[in-house]
Amino acid sequence: MSPTQTLTESGLQRRIKLHLHAKPQLFFAVCAVGFESILEQEIRGLKEAIIVQVVDGGVEFSGPFHLIYEANLVLRTAVRVLLRIQTFVACSYPELFNKSCRIAWERYAGLKPLLGFECSANTSRLHHTDNIIKTVYDAIKEIYGDFGINPNQSDMPDTSFYIRMSRDQCTISLDSSGELLYKRGWREAIGHAPIRESLASAILGYAECRKFSRIVDPFCGSGTFCIEAIHSLIHHAPGLNRKFAFEKWPSFQEARYHYGQKKIASQEMTASAVSVVGSDISKAAIQAAGENGQRAGVSKWVSFTQSDCVESLRKNGGRDMLVVSNLPYGKRSLDSGEIGPLYRTFGQAMKDNMKRGSRFALVVPDESVSDLLKLPVSKLIRFMNGGLPVKLIMGDL
């Protein structure tokens, strides 16, 4: 097909400035189901963000285009941030094709489009995800054909589009994060059943970790809770040491991004009044936690020691403390019969050693074994961790 329009780099940049940089945009931050209120709080803390709606698994918000840089750099509980492109009704493939042809794809994918697609569909007339992707891709080829450009699909795309069909509504978004945001770049050493960094952060936020003078994780594994707690206490932005998908966008404003990055880095504090302690019975886990702590730059604020959980509580007990932990579970641990006695003695040790003003926030299996802790649970959130149904139980002692 011969081109019917010319598109130069400078022409494209003019369109991007006019339609993307100069206009408010809509974003969607994705988080673990159950922790949306913590993500919402975080987004309220972004100066230029306006919350649009909170839905299961995420928060929609609006603001200037460059807000997407800050969101990726600072949000602790989000796993991905999307730029919303278009939402429309599509009840048939021709309708999906025609409406997709109205999108100015070149603003998002540039002059050398290397594209990837993710699609989900539910309760819609169009529900075959491969066909939905094919139809949208055909529309993209049609639009690029006008400029004499051939787009390519790739497993390592520069631009990834997310297509969601729900109740016949098609929402097309652009992924700005790339690798999921819980990958902060510091966790190379992994222990048994680690918790995602974003989930650990959400739990710390939910437990209001800033209110306590001491934070203890007696089953610290690779040290996730302790490291995330310190980063939050010293205002260390989780995304400072990693790359994002938006850095490959034609609309990427490199100078503006680096300016924002420096400003965010300069807000980091050099001291924390809260003592953070991690312990684990496994020598290998403590070694991994120490290495991770070093990579995360928090070694001077955290102590990781090898110890049984009961011993750890005896040593670190006191007032105004937060015990936050991901307890041992999983089929192997449950079947071995060791879990029952462990939960019983750990629950008792908490009641004996955590004094006035203390709180617990524990991730435990979603099974009755957690009753053996005999703790006064006031809040409960069910979620999945590592493919297993678990629950967060929280309460004050």
Ligand X SMILES: C[S@@+](CC[C@H](N)C(=O)[O-])C[C@H]1O[C@@H](n2cnc3c(N)ncnc32)[C@H](O)[C@@H]1O
Locus of tokens 């993209």? 140
Q: How far is the CB of 308 from ligand X (least distance, A)?
A: 4
Provide the pairing of β-strand 80-89 with 169-175.
Answer: antiparallel
The structure tokens listed for 165 are 């069909």
Pairwise CA distance, residues 163 & 116, whole Å: 11
Judged by CB, which is closer to ligand X: 164, or 192? 192
Piece in contact with ligand X (CB under 6 A), picked from 166-174, 185-193, 252-260, 387-395: 185-193
Which listed residue (46, 281, 334, 388) binds ligand X by CB under 6 A?
Answer: 281
- The CB-of-217 to ligand X minimum distance in angstroms stands at 7
With 0-12 CB in 10 A as exposed, 13-18 as middle and 19+ as buried, what is 2?
A: exposed
Window contacting ligand X (CB under 6 A); options: 110-118, 135-143, 144-152, 280-288:
280-288
Say if residues 196 and 226 touch (Cβ distance below 8 Å).
Answer: no
Nearer Cβ to ligand X, position 135 or 312? 312
Q: Any contact of residue 203 with ligand X (CB under 6 A)?
A: no
Q: Residue 143 or residue 349: which is nearer to ligand X going by CB?
A: 349
- Interactions with ligand X, residue window 307-336 (CB under 6 A): 308-309, 326, 328
Cα 51–Cα 54–Cα 57 angle in degrees, nearest 5? 130
Q: Which of 193, 199, 230, 364 is the binder for ligand X (CB under 6 A)?
A: 193
Judged by CB under 6 A, the residue of 37, 261, 282, 299 near ligand X is: 282
- List residues bridging with 50 in a β-sheet: 62
- Identify whether the C-beta of residue 291 lies closer than 8 Å to the C-beta of residue 306: no
Q: Does 189 bind ligand X (CB under 6 A)?
A: no
Site size for ligand X (CB under 6 A)? 20
Give all strands (DSSP E) within 226-309, no chain letters: 275-280, 302-306
**DSSP-based three-state secondary structure for 289:** helix
Within a 10 A sphere around the Cβ of 198, how many other Cβ atoms? 26
Q: Is 290 a binder of ligand X (CB under 6 A)? A: no
Q: How many helices (H) does the chain have, and how many strands (E)?
A: 13, 15
CB of 221 to ligand X, least distance (A): 3
Please, what is the minimum distance in Å from the beta carbon of residue 207 to ligand X?
14
Rg of the chain over Cα atoms, rounded to whole angstroms, equals 24
Q: Minimal distance in Å, beta carbon 365 to ligand X? A: 10
Between 77 and 160, whose beta carbon lies closer to ligand X? 77
Which span (177-185, 216-224, 351-359, 366-374) binds ligand X, by CB under 6 A? 216-224
Is residue 285 a contact residue for ligand X (CB under 6 A)?
yes
Stretch that binds ligand X, among 28-36, 152-160, 217-225, 252-260 (CB under 6 A): 217-225
Query: What is 30-75 written as a DSSP string?
Result: E--TT-HHHHHHHHHTSTT-EEEEEETTEEEEEE-TTHHHHHHHH-
Determine if 365 is a binding residue for ligand X (CB under 6 A). no
CB neighbour list of residue 262: distance below 8 Å, 6 or more residues apart: none
Nearer to ligand X, 109 or 199 (CB): 199
Interface ranges with ligand X (CB under 6 A): 191-195, 218-219, 221-222, 224-225, 280-282, 285, 308-309, 326, 328, 342
